[in-house]
Each structure stands twice: as C-alpha cells, then as structure tokens.
Amino acid sequence: MSILCQIFKSSRKQEMYLYVEKNRGVADVPLDLMERFGEPLEVMSLVLSSDKKLARAKASDVLQAIANQGYYLQMPPTPAQILRRDGSGA
C-alpha cells in the first residue's frame, strides 16, 4: 500500500508534524487537535509506502494511523531522544 502523503509542521510546537493523505488534507483531523497544532505549515509531499525510511517514525505505523484515523501526529522528541540524536547520550 502507498499513498500520496502531505506533511505539515506545527506553527505552535517545534518538531511537531502532521501526516495526512494529500487528497484529504486536514479534513479528518479533530478540531481540538488543530487548535493545539496551530496553523499547519506545509513541509513536503511524498509517496509513502511501508518500506519508505522516515527519520522518527515507522512508515507502516504512519500508514496505519492515516488509514484508521485520517492522520498521524509526530510529537516532538523527548529530552532523552534529543540526547541520543545529538550523540550526547549513552
């Protein structure tokens, strides 16, 4: 399975991203989430398939969330994840 995926970043929270199917946009995202997310700022569109490599999420998880609820929300990394990413952690 593959979809044309549109990725938005949050105008309110750094490193928070929203993945949606491009032809649906944010139509399926709950209003309360959109209020917390802020203005969706488009980052990119890509063909997403389960074998696609993503930086902080498994593509299969993203596809499943989009199929089940219409979107995938990628939260900002935790302090521990930032330390590991920057090579400062164990």
Break the chain into its structural domains and give their ranges. 2-86
For residues 16 and 76, which has the higher predicted lDDT (pLDDT)? 16
pLDDT score, position 75: 93
The correct CATH number of 2-86 out of 3.20.20.80, 3.40.50.2300, 3.10.510.20, 3.30.70.3420 is 3.10.510.20
Residue 51 DSSP code: T
- The arithmetic mean of pLDDT across residues 57-80, rounded, is 92
pLDDT at 89 over 60: no
Q: How confident is the model at residue 36 (pLDDT cuts 50, 70, 90)?
A: very high
Helix H or strand E encompassing 73: strand 72-74
Rounded Cα distance, 52 and 59, in Å? 6
Confidence of residue 79 (pLDDT cuts 50, 70, 90): confident
What whole-number distance in Å separates Cα of residue 71 and Cα of residue 45? Answer: 14
Across 38-52, average pLDDT = 95
The predicted model scores a pTM of 0.86
> How does the average pLDDT of the chain come out, rounded?
91
pLDDT of residue 85: 66
